[in-house]
Structure 1
Amino acid sequence: MNNLIPEILKVIFKYLYDPNADSCYIADRNHLYSCILVNRYWCKVSVPILWSRALNYYGSIHERQTKILSLLKCLDQKSRNNLINNGITFPFSFDEVTIFQYTSYIEVLDYGKLINLVEDWLNTLQKLPAESLSLVLRSILKLLVKETKIKSFKTWPV
C-alpha cells in the first residue's frame, strides 16, 4: 500500500466516513485512527481527513480535551502570552510542538460545538477569571481565521 500515490490513498480513506454528513461516525473515525498507526505515510494522508471535521463532533471527554489542547498548542506566542497573563494556565509546556499544524486541515466549523469544547476544557481548570471563555474562544477563532480554509461555518440561530 505504500506504493499508492497520496491522492489515491486519500480517496480510499475518505470512503471510511461520509464526507457529506454533519459528523463522522465513531466507527468510521476509529478506522481512520487505525490508519494513522500503520506508518508515517498513512498518517500523513489520514490526519488531514480526520481533522477536516474534528470540531464538528464531540467524541469522548478525553477526545474533546485532546482537540482543544492540540488547538491551543498551535497558538502563536502573542496569543499564548495573552491567555497566560489573563490567568489561564495550561496543562502542558509550550515547548511541546505538534507534529501537524492541525488547524490548517479544518474545513467545517460549528461555532456552538467549539464553544462547548472550550467550556468543557475550562471546566477542568480551577479559579478562572469570568472572561476566560471569551478570551480562549477569541484566540482560537483568530487562529482558525488565519490558518484554515473553512468550507462550512455553522452558527446558532439568532
Structure 2
Amino acid sequence: MYPARVTQLELIPSATSVSKEHKMATTATPNSNLAFFDWYLMPEAFSAPLVGEAIQKYGIQPGQVVLDPFSGTGTTVLAAKLHGINGVGIEINPFLCFASRIKVKWNYDLAKLQQDIAQLLPRVKAKIFNESADLSHLKPDMPRIDKWISPKVANKVLTIKLLINEI
C-alpha cells in the first residue's frame, strides 16, 4: 500500500568475514558497562553500539522511526532515543515490556532528580538493610515475575518504591 515508505535493512552483514569487534557487538556483552542497557542482559540481545552503527550506516535521522518487533529489554528503542530518533518496540513478555518502558521513559529535571536522590539515599540505606516486612503483596500482577526477579530483591525494590512515593 505504501511501498515508497517500506525498507528492509540488513543489520548484520551476510559476508563470511566479519571483524571480531562486529561479532562482539552482535551480543549483549558491550552493554554490560552501559547505564540502563545493562539491567537485563538476555542471551538473544545485541549491543547498543550495534544499533548506533546501524543508525549511522542507514542515515536514520531525528524525526524518523525505528521499529523493533521483538524488543526484549529495549536496546533498540533506548539506543534510538539516545540518538534523538523515535523508537517503537513490540514485546510479548510482560516483564520485559515493563522493563523496556521504564528504561525509555525519562524526561527529568536533573537538578530536582539530584535533590530527590540526596533526600532518598539515607532513607534507603536505613530501611533496605533493616527492613523485614514482607511486601510481596505489592508486587505487580505479572505472569512468572518470580522467574525474573527474586523475592528478596523484589522486597528491596518495593521498599525503595515506597520511599520514592513518599517524596
- TM-score, length-scaled by structure 1: 0.30
Structure showing greater relative contact order (alpha-carbon pairs closer than 8 Å, 6 or more residues apart): 1
The structure with the largest helix share of the pair is 1
- TM-score, length-scaled by structure 2: 0.28
